[in-house]
């Protein structure tokens, strides 16, 4: 269901609100399902050697981590931090930009791994979904700057309010944190915002009466803005027939003589 303009005769505000609510719940459920998948994978990590599935920079075998590394995490705190970010940013991106988010996710997934594989130190292992969360944040923020409609600006401000610090974590700042995957995901998010900025139609905006009057005056023909000639101006009041020849009445007042000083 595509959003209609509120002035469209086919517009149904109740149906549109129901559609928006279902889209929000669907995106939230998908984000929750992915978070549960991360929890299940982390709970099973202790039972097998996960290193072949992580990103190992500059090694051909390490390219397998591009597919599996976002599912792996190093600690409970690591998976918890990424889970909260995925819930907020995934729900926000998917509810406001469903088509752009669906098309951007493969790029964010692979971009975070490529950043770690190209820029990481040889012999290190990179894992975690933080590169994907950075990609989602930069996707939403970039779409807000490029689209500039009300919903896009609001989504960008919300993303920046919660995770504006991601603008700094794409650079080296602490040992043991893969800023390389953060940078790869952020670049993939910005590129996706540029490529898919027109994937979702802008939401309709209700015009107020004063805006419609300004538009009507702006696009009115030139002759409508010119005043009519004096002969075409209607006369609102006319004098009676017997008053036609009267030129007015002069009232004469007697002149006052010199004042008596005694009075």
Residues 6+ positions from 159 with CB-CB distance below 8 Å: 89, 92, 137, 140, 141, 144
Q: What is d(CA 132, CA 13) in angstroms, rounded to the nearest whole number?
A: 35
Q: Tens digit of pLDDT for each residue in 8-57?
A: 444 456 676 777 788 889 999 999 999 999 999 999 988 788 899 999 99
Q: Tens digit of pLDDT for each residue in 163-194?
A: 999 989 999 888 889 999 999 999 999 999 99
What DSSP element (H or E) covers 158?
helix 150-163
The whole-number pLDDT of residue 42 equals 94
Specify if 6 maps to a domain. no
Specify if 261 maps to a domain. no
Cβ atoms of 130 and 182 within 8 Å: the answer is yes
Specify if 143 maps to a domain. yes
Specify if 225 maps to a domain. no
Specify if 52 maps to a domain. yes
What DSSP element (H or E) covers 171?
none
The whole-number pLDDT of residue 94 equals 92
- Residue 76 belongs to domain with CATH number: 1.20.1540.10
Specify if 227 maps to a domain. no
Q: Which domain holds residue 159?
A: 13-195
The whole-number pLDDT of residue 254 equals 73
**Share of residues in the chain with pLDDT > 90 (%):** 53
Q: Position of tokens 């794409």? A: 170
The whole-number pLDDT of residue 209 equals 57
Distance of CA 41 to CAs 45, 109, 118, Å? 6, 17, 26
Q: Position of tokens 């149906």? A: 15
Based on C-alpha coordinates, what's the Rg of the chain? 35
pLDDT, averaged across the chain: 82
Q: What is d(CA 94, CA 88) in angstroms, rounded to the nearest whole number?
A: 10
Paired tokens of 224:
């409508």
For residue 174, list its beta bridge partners.
Answer: none
Specify if 214 maps to a domain. no
Q: Cα angle at 182 between 82 and 98, to 5 degrees?
A: 65
Specify if 131 maps to a domain. yes
The whole-number pLDDT of residue 1 equals 44
> C-alpha dihedral over 137, 139, 140, 146, to 10 degrees?
140
Q: What is d(CA 99, CA 113) in angstroms, rounded to the nearest whole number?
A: 23
Number of domains in the chain: 1
Q: Tens digit of pLDDT for each residue in 71-125?
A: 999 899 999 999 999 999 999 999 999 999 999 999 999 999 999 999 999 999 9
């Amino acid at each position: 269901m595509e959003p209609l303009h509120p002035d469209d005769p086919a517009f149904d505000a109740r149906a549109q609100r129901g559609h928006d609510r279902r889209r929000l719940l669907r995106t939230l459920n998908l984000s929750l399902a992915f978070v549960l998948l991360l929890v299940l994978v982390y709970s099973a990590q202790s039972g097998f050697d996960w290193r072949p599935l992580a990103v190992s920079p500059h090694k051909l075998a390490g390219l397998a981590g591009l597919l599996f590394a976002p599912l792996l995490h190093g600690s409970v705190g690591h998976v918890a931090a990424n889970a909260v970010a995925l819930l907020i940013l995934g729900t926000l991106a998917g509810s406001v930009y469903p088509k752009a988010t669906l098309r951007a996710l493969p790029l964010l997934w692979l971009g975070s791994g490529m950043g770690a594989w190209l820029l990481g130190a040889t012999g290190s292992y990179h894992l975690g979904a933080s590169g994907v969360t950075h990609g989602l944040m930069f996707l939403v923020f970039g779409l807000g700057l490029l689209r500039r409609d009300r919903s896009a600006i609001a989504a960008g401000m919300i993303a920046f309010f919660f995770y504006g610090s991601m603008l700094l974590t794409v650079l080296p700042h602490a040992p043991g944190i893969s800023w390389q995957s953060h940078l790869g995901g952020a670049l993939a998010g910005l590129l996706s915002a540029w490529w898919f900025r027109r994937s979702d139609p802008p939401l309709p905006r209700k015009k107020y009466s004063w805006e419609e009057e300004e538009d009507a005056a702006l696009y009115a023909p030139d002759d409508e803005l010119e005043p009519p000639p004096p002969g075409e101006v209607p006369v609102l009041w006319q004098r009676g027939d017997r008053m036609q020849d009267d030129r007015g009445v002069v009232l004469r007042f007697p002149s006052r003589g010199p004042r008596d000083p005694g009075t």
